[in-house]
Every structure is written in structure tokens, then in C-alpha cells.
Structure 1
């Protein structure tokens, strides 16, 4: 019997988890990733609810637990850095929190022996036929596959090619920011510190490496997303947002300029009438991003990957599988998006 050929765009959490489940169930899977290798940046990620069942089904739950950041809570401070309150660890760390690079590494390790990974390449064209999809790439030779799945994040290339421009489905929640690591000048030990004032927020925490801390500088904005603009423009926007801020903000801005792991992101959501188009479907942030303020991105990616794989395995055809997957998951995704909007508003974002 001929195996169903599936091409997944994106080697992140959703893509790797989906690849694992599909291979287990007899699909022929290839993953293409535009980065030259595994991405080693990103904040800690947390898991909630049914995500634990997915980790157990992947066979990695105990290993993931071994990388628990063991956060003890977050101290709230005022504009001058004076303590104003405390938040429990669960406020940011969920039921379990681990460094994102560790999760990515583990998922790649369990799939790499069985899955064809193609790094440093990207899809350029999708041409759908009644019985297949012809895919063209920036570097590799064209190929025909049965199904294409976009697991390539907020600015999904698959979504743009098969569903339309980003502007048609992205909803910016009025908050952007940067993340990077810096010297642990606050002396944090498995703790975080949060300062919110004048539409800007500073969050820092230290977990695995006591000499370093992860920093987030977020700000409310009416401007369009700067996610794909040059770093110089992103840093300029952050400096403008934090002009006149005291406490340790000037030191953090200096550390930002020197950081080699700087990344910029906007709190945005993806809203689509449908998550599939013919033989193409979306999973995770590519199809229904809830925004970082929801705190559900990783859990949603894992749960979505398992749901899509189960329906593709159980259904007699891809159209029925895609419809069942969406019917099952859409209420969950929409609830997470509501949480994301509420979270952005709580941080002072300029929501509609």
C-alpha cells in the first residue's frame, strides 16, 4: 500500500510533534525549515491541561519534567523598583515550564531518525491538483506530495500561499516587544521580576543559568507590526517606548544592543474562516495563534498536532479529516484567543 506523502513546513513544536504522530501512524513525512538548523532562542515555555497527555503520548514527559525551570514566583515592582507585590509561579510558568530550546531539541531527537528534515530551504509555490500538490522550493527540486501542512508560525509561508496575504488574517493586539538574555544584574534565582508603567512592561527572570537572566521589554503601540523589519528599527521603537524610564531600564537597553540572541515579536492573533484549503491545512500559530499573552502557544501547538494527526489517520479522506480536526479544536483555540486579548489588555496594550 502506498504511503500518504505529507510535507510539513516548520520544524518547531507543532511541526515536529505532528511529524512524530504521522510517522507513527504510517505516513511518509518530510519537514522543511527555512532556518539553517534548529532554532536555539526563545523564552521558557509552559504546559497546561491536555498538553501533558500529548507529551506522554510522545514519550517525552519525564524528560521534559527533568528540565523544569523550578520558578518560585514573580516580584512586582513599581517604577522605581520598589517591591509592590508577589505573583505565584503559576502566573507565568503554568503547571510546568522548561526552556524552549530544550523542548525543540527533544522533539527533534525523537523524530530525526525517522523523518526527512530539510533545513535552510523554504516553499515558494503551491500548485494544487485533484490528486496531489506540486511544491516548489527556494533551493530544492520541486516535488509532488499528497498533503501540505503549514506549521510555520505567525507569518506562515504556507498560509500566505494557500490562503492569502498576512494582512487579511493577522490581528495585532497593540503590544510589541523584544526578548534577549543579559547578565543577571538583579541577582534573581528561580524568580522573576515584573514592572509595568506607562504602557510599557519589563519582565526578567533567571532559571537554568544563575549568571544570566532572560529579559522582555514590551510596549503598547498603535503601529503596524515590526516583526520582519530590520533589527535597527525594532531597537529604535523599543528605545522610544522606554525613553525616560528609570530603575534598571537604561542598563537593559544597553544589554539589548549587545545581545546576540535578540528577537522581536508582536502580540498578534490569526483569524481564519477555515484552517484548510484543498490539500493544504494549518496547525498551531500558523492557523490560530492566540498571542503570547494567552500563555497557551506551546500547549495549543501540541494539542493541535495530535488532533490533526488523529483525524488524518482515522478519516477516509483528507477533506473529512481536516473538517473534523477544525470542528474539534476551534472552540479551544477561540477560548485561548479570548484569553490572549484579555492578557494584552491587562498589560496596557491598545486593543480594539
Structure 2
């Protein structure tokens, strides 16, 4: 991307070069726009110690209303309904892997299997077999993205590219809200002032999520048996039990 006072000239790996008035990077945690305009990913992305994997199970969920969680210290496996179909997920604590490549499927499978291979509880062995056979596996580190500024000249960032707290930060909702805020700002002002106004407004939404990401991670995947017991006890105490309709099974 080559910027001048009137626009940005962009060349592509595939396709003809084009010129744009503005470039907005809405390309996620591993944003190419952010890397080109603001520097390497290592300067802005911090691994929070959790990994997450997810894959479709190829059929309807056994329980279409509930997410089923299986926790052991530092690890979680789950099956949940997604638009009527079953999805499996693994979330677990682990340090950043040397040479991690978010596009390397074989590496992702190996990390998940090694993290759970000694766990014979619940459906874990069956779900690991699904991971080994999968050609459609989402896998990435849970990460926080922080930049001093979300724009530079005619280039700006929105969504996870600017302020990710993957998995724990309502990323999709905040991305939509951020895009709306940026669009409103651009409709009413020149690009420099619009980028500044968008950032000032939207940071007030994203910063609380980033501050509490560690707390949310600890609740979702407690590291110890004591932490699991405390989390489960709190969930039972503070979750209201809704009365069941006549003839139905009790609410869970």
C-alpha cells in the first residue's frame, strides 16, 4: 500500500493494482492491512495463554437447547448446537508454540491431540478422533490486539484487526458496532477527523472487554480442581431455575 495526499495505491497478490480514497482493514486477528501499515503482528498481538479449536460434527446436536461442557483443570471440551447442527470445541491453557502458523492444519491437529491425549473422560477420545480426521478445523490462540492508534493517514482498522480479544470479547458484536461508528463518522467529516472520532467513541466499548479478558478466561477454563469447584458452585447459586411447563422435563 502506497499512500499520498489523494489516496492509497494498493497492489494485490492476485489481481490488478487499484487506487482507493481510503483503506479499512477489517481482516481479523491476523490482519494483513495492519501488518503492512502498522508493523509486524508480534508488536501488537499478545497470546493470552488459551488455545481454542472447533469443528462441525456433521449432524444434529443430541441436545438442541444446551451447550454441554466437560472441564478438567486447564482444559475444556464441549458440544453445542449451531443452527441445528452439532459443533465440538476444545479450549485449553498452553504457552505460545514456537513457529505457530495459523494456516497449518497438521500443526493444529497435533497441538490439540497432544493437549488431550491422556484424557479418557466423557466423549474426549471420540472427539479427538474427529479432530484427527477433520479437514475443517478452526484453531487459533486466544489473543489480545492493542495499538496506540487505529489509523494512519488514509488507512484505518476496525473489528479484531484493531482491538481483538478473541473468544472472550464479544468480537462479532463489537466489530459490527465499530463499523457502524466508523461509517457514521466518515459520513460527517473528513477522513482524519472521522478516524479520530470513531476511535474515541469505540475504544470506550472495547477497553473494558480487554481489561477483563483474563478473568473471563479463568471462569471458562479454571486451572485447578479448586477453581472448578468454586466456579461450578457459583454457577449453581447464581443461575435462576425456571419453572417447567406441565408435562415437560425440568429446566437445566
Which entry has the higher C-alpha Rg, 1 or 2? 2
Task: For 1:282 and 1:191, locate their aligned partners in 2 and report how far apart those are by CA, in whole Å.
Answer: 36
8 Å contact kept, 1:281–1:322: yes
1:49-60 to 2 correspondences below 5 Å: none
Deviation at residue 227 of structure 1 after TM alignment: 5.0
8 Å contact kept, 2:60–2:81: no
Task: For 1:230 and 1:301, locate their aligned partners in 2 and report how far apart those are by CA, in whole Å.
Answer: 26
The aligned residue for residue 149 of structure 2 is 274
Task: For 2:51 and 2:15, locate their aligned partners in 1 and report how far apart those are by CA, in whole Å.
Answer: 35
Q: 1:324 aligns with which of 192, 197, 214?
A: 197
8 Å contact kept, 1:267–1:344: no
Q: Does 1:234 pair with 2:86?
A: no
RMSD between superposed Cα atoms in Å: 1.8
The aligned residue for residue 197 of structure 1 is 72
Deviation at residue 303 of structure 1 after TM alignment: 0.4
Deviation at residue 261 of structure 1 after TM alignment: 2.3
After superposition, give the CA deviation of every residue in 1:18-42 in whole Å (9 maximum; x if it has no partner): xxxxxxxxxxxxxxxxxxxxxxxxx
TM-score (norm 2): 0.82
Q: 2:136 aligns with which of 236, 251, 261?
A: 261
Q: 1:297 aligns with which of 171, 189, 207?
A: 171
The aligned residue for residue 9 of structure 2 is 134
Deviation at residue 184 of structure 1 after TM alignment: 5.9
After superposition, give the CA deviation of every residue in 1:297-330 in whole Å (9 maximum; x if it has no partner): 1110110000000000111x11000011111111
Q: CA separation of 1:185/1:148 partners in 2, compared to 1, >3 Å: closer, same or farther?
A: closer
Task: For 2:160 and 2:95, locate their aligned partners in 1 and report how far apart those are by CA, in whole Å.
Answer: 22
Q: SS where residue 196 of structure 2 aligns?
A: helix
Q: CA separation of 1:292/1:141 partners in 2, compared to 1, >3 Å: closer, same or farther?
A: same
Q: 1:152 aligns with which of 7, 10, 27?
A: 27
Q: SS where residue 287 of structure 1 aligns?
A: helix
8 Å contact kept, 2:37–2:155: yes
Deviation at residue 186 of structure 1 after TM alignment: 7.3
The aligned residue for residue 208 of structure 2 is 335
Which consecutive unaligned segments of at least 5 residues does structure 2 have?
224-252
Residue correspondences, number: 220
The aligned residue for residue 311 of structure 1 is 185
8 Å contact kept, 2:54–2:138: yes
TM-score (norm 1): 0.59
The aligned residue for residue 123 of structure 2 is 248
Task: For 2:138 and 2:93, locate their aligned partners in 1 and report how far apart those are by CA, in whole Å.
Answer: 17
Task: For 1:207 and 1:170, locate their aligned partners in 2 and report how far apart those are by CA, in whole Å.
Answer: 29
